[in-house]
């Protein structure tokens, strides 16, 4: 008779993000048939009590407060925590790389041509929000630009609106969570500030329902929560097999930026460079050449290439291929399309061309990339 591992799932909603983590756990479970899962959907205080008393082989939980730490301290079974709110060494912590998430946000907004930046986070010193803000600010400052910081004390956005009104524009603003970015978007609307024309807004978390309900829709850093759930489940098996609990949190890098309307703008003071960038991004599914990009502007190839290199730091040819690779990696990680279909939809024409060029750029095949980054 097959011996099952009885694993308890005590993952609360996490403000709308918990379902993605559970999807990742589910994907691991379907690949490992010796799991028997007990799923608990209770209030936070009840979850902490269950963590303390539930009889099973292992637990995956979201340690949302000190009660979880106290409950876990007396247990000897593996307990994996999937939230950054309480990174106590009593758990095996599998969480997002929040510093890198902030850095990726900054890189994205810098690439849109902004020279004025700000971030919004809550006044409380939540570790994960501070790390996101630090990663963002460090990357922007390394590029030679200052960063303004806004601290939110409550759900009342009057102070937020006053702060926003005094900042220079065009401005790129990061909300360290999607909810804070949505609050900032609402403050802009009340002030009559156009988004994204005057202020471009980016959140972190990619809480899809919230992002899609915003007007304009909200761009966000995708933290790859499904992979977090998958890796958390994988750690359960590793611990049950006798592997030592890691001393440091296991950090899951962000997948990238989910672009929506709130960042659909380029702040470069050069309409021809902006036209070229838009044409390249809009044509990422097609096979285009530099001459096609030049035809979308009003100037000569030599002039466009010179201005493009100066502002973007890449050649037109490099930007075209970057757009193709960005689209291909999104399709590989989020769909079951064949390699031929991915190639056809991302401007590579053939599967062999995709494989060869992909290996040159990433030192791995598209199949290997898909396995490592599967949602």
277 shares its domain with 135: no
Q: What is the mean pLDDT of residues 343-362?
A: 92
What is the pLDDT at residue 76? 92
124 shares its domain with 199: yes
111 shares its domain with 200: yes
298 shares its domain with 203: no
171: CATH: 3.40.50.2300
Q: What is the mean pLDDT of residues 139-166?
A: 86
What is the pLDDT at residue 155? 60
By the 8 A CB rule, do 95 and 82 touch? yes
By the 8 A CB rule, do 133 and 149 touch? yes
Q: What is the mean pLDDT of residues 304-321?
A: 91
- The torsion defined by the Cα of 125, 60, 256 and 115, in degrees rounded to 10, comes to 0
Q: What is the mean pLDDT of residues 196-224?
A: 95
By the 8 A CB rule, do 102 and 174 touch? yes
Above 80 in pLDDT, residue 373?
Answer: no
160 shares its domain with 201: yes
Give, in order, the Cα–Cα distances in Å from 94 to each of 12, 17, 247, 296. 15, 15, 11, 46
300: CATH: 1.10.10.60
The tokens for 289 are: 């050449």
Q: Which domain holds residue 114?
A: 98-223+257-263
Position 1 confidence tier, pLDDT thresholds 50, 70, 90 = very low
291 shares its domain with 201: no
Compute the distance between CA of residue 11 and CA of residue 250 in angstroms, rounded to an integer: 18
Q: What DSSP character marks residue 261?
A: G
Query: Count of domains in the chain?
Result: 3
Helix axes 316-334, 301-312, angle to 10 degrees: 60
Neighbours of 253 (CB within 10 A): 14
Above 60 in pLDDT, residue 327?
Answer: yes
What is the pLDDT at residue 2? 56
3-state SS record for 122-135:
ECCCCHHHHHHHHH
Q: What is the mean pLDDT of residues 294-321?
A: 92
The phi and psi torsions of 38 (rounded to 5 degrees) equal -110, 115
First to last CA, the chain: 33
Q: What DSSP character marks residue 4?
A: P
Above 90 in pLDDT, residue 19?
Answer: no
Neighbours of 241 (CB within 10 A): 7
Kindly give the pairing relationship between strand 219-222 and strand 256-258.
antiparallel
Q: What does the pLDDT look like over 154-184, one tens digit per residue? A: 666 678 888 999 999 999 999 999 999 999 9
What is the pLDDT at residue 55? 92
155 shares its domain with 241: no
Q: Higher pLDDT residue, 117 or 333? A: 117
128 shares its domain with 86: no
- Site of tokens 């009342």: 156
84 shares its domain with 193: no
Q: What is the mean pLDDT of residues 88-109?
A: 95
Q: What does the pLDDT look like over 355-365, one tens digit per residue? A: 999 999 988 89
Q: State the chain's mean pLDDT as an integer.
A: 90
CA 10-13-18 angle, to 5 degrees, is: 80
Among 68-77, 198-207, 333-342, the range of highest mean pLDDT? 198-207
126 φψ region: left (φ > 0), alpha (ψ -120 to 50), beta (else):
beta
What is the pLDDT at residue 126? 66
The tokens for 320 are: 């075209």
The tokens for 266 are: 């380029």
Q: What is the mean pLDDT of residues 195-214?
A: 94
The tokens for 187 are: 């403050």
What is the pLDDT at residue 47? 83
127 shares its domain with 54: no
248 shares its domain with 280: no
Q: pTM (2 decimals)?
A: 0.84
- By mean pLDDT, which of 98-107, 237-246, 326-335, 354-363 is the weakest? 326-335
- By mean pLDDT, which of 35-44, 127-136, 209-218 is the weakest? 35-44
Position 283 confidence tier, pLDDT thresholds 50, 70, 90 = very high
What is the pLDDT at residue 48? 84
What is the pLDDT at residue 334? 79
What is the pLDDT at residue 99? 97
By the 8 A CB rule, do 141 and 108 touch? no
107 shares its domain with 208: yes
Residues 6+ apart with CB under 8 A from 145: 110, 115, 116, 117
Q: How many residues does the chain have?
A: 375
What DSSP string runs through 282-348?
HTTTS---HHHHHHTSSS-HHHHHHHHHHHHSS-HHHHHHHHHHHHHHHHHHH----HHHHHHHTT-
Above 90 in pLDDT, residue 49?
Answer: no
Q: What is the mean pLDDT of residues 338-364?
A: 92
What is the pLDDT at residue 150? 86
What is the pLDDT at residue 375? 52
Compute the distance between CA of residue 105 and CA of residue 206 in angstroms, rounded to an integer: 12
């Amino acid at each position: 008779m097959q011996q099952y591992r009885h694993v308890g799932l005590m993952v609360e909603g996490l403000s709308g993000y918990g379902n993605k983590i559970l999807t990742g756990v589910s994907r691991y479970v379907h690949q490992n048939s010796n799991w028997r899962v007990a799923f608990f959907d209770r209030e936070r205080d009840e979850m902490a009590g269950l963590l303390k008393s539930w009889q099973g082989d292992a637990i995956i939980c979201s340690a949302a407060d000190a009660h979880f730490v106290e409950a876990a301290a007396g247990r000897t079974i593996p307990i994996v925590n999937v939230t950054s709110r309480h990174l106590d060494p009593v758990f095996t912590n599998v969480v997002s790389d929040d510093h890198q998430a902030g850095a990726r946000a900054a890189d994205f907004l810098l690439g849109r041509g902004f020279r004025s930046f700000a971030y919004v986070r809550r006044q409380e010193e939540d570790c994960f929000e501070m790390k996101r803000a630090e990663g963002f600010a460090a990357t922007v400052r390394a590029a030679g630009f200052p960063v303004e910081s806004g601290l939110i004390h409550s759900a009342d956005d009057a102070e937020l609106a006053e702060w926003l009104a005094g900042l220079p524009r065009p401005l790129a603003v990061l909300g360290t969570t999607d909810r804070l970015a949505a609050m900032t978007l609402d403050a802009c609307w009340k002030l009559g500030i156009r988004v994204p024309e005057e202020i471009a807004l980016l959140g972190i978390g990619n809480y899809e329902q919230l992002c899609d309900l915003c007007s304009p829709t909200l761009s966000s850093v995708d933290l790859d929560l499904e992979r977090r759930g998958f890796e958390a489940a994988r750690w359960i098996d590793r611990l049950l097999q006798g592997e030592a609990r890691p001393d440091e949190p296991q950090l899951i890098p962000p997948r990238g930026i989910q672009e929506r309307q709130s960042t659909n703008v380029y702040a470069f003071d050069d309409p021809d460079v902006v036209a070229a960038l838009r044409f390249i991004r809009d044509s990422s599914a097609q096979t285009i050449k530099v001459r096609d990009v030049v035809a979308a502007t009003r100037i000569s190839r030599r002039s466009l290439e010179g201005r493009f290199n100066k502002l973007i730091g890449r050649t037109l040819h490099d930007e075209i291929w970057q757009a193709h690779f960005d689209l291909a990696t999104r399709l590989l990680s989020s769909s079951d399309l064949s390699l031929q279909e991915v190639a056809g939809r991302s401007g590579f024409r053939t599967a062999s061309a995709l494989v060869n060029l992909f290996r040159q750029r990433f030192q791995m095949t598209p199949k290997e990339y898909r396995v490592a980054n599967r949602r």
